[in-house]
Amino acid sequence: MRLAMTIGCMFASVLAQAQVTVSEPWIRATVGGQKVAGGYLQIKSERDTALVGVKSPAAANVEVHEMAMVDNVMRMRALQKLDVPAGRSVELKPGGYHLMLIDIKEPMKVGAKVPLQLTFEDKDKKRETVEVTAEVRPLSGASAAKGEHKHH
């Protein structure tokens, strides 16, 4: 009985620490010779946090980027962190916030699985790491992902 209570408490402790949820990760396929790839996903957190780092064995470096209109020209810039407000979803998608996998080690082929390790930090400097596997999807974008549909 005591062992069951200890295990139950340990499990509850692990669940209590899981504050960030990452869903629907995907990476856009690349063509031969291309050295960068875009990554997309959704983030939701139970408390205020920020995405402060991303790693993948598939690339030498991974940055969080945003697209913004500057002087009537769409520009991309790297962010040091991406805030994730408590209870709200932040979507990384084409044309907005996104991951940029830099110096990819091989072309991203449709159907391949790419591991990503995301690091989040809250205002108290507590860090949480979330590991996900992103599927590589066609160059044309997300192929009818869950909850999406295309018109002909």
Tens-place pLDDT, residues 56-95: 999 999 999 998 878 888 788 999 999 999 999 999 999 9
Is the pLDDT confidence value at 51 over 90? yes
Alpha-carbon radius of gyration of the chain = 18
The residues near 100 (Cβ < 8 Å, ≥ 6 apart) are 36, 37, 38, 39, 62, 63, 64, 65, 76, 78
Tens-place pLDDT, residues 10-28: 443 344 455 899 999 999 9
User: For 20-137, which CATH class?
Assistant: mainly beta
**Residue 112: its pLDDT value, please?**
98
**Residue 18: its pLDDT value, please?**
57
Is the pLDDT confidence value at 5 over 80? no
Stated pTM of the model: 0.79
151 — pLDDT class (breaks 50, 70, 90): very low
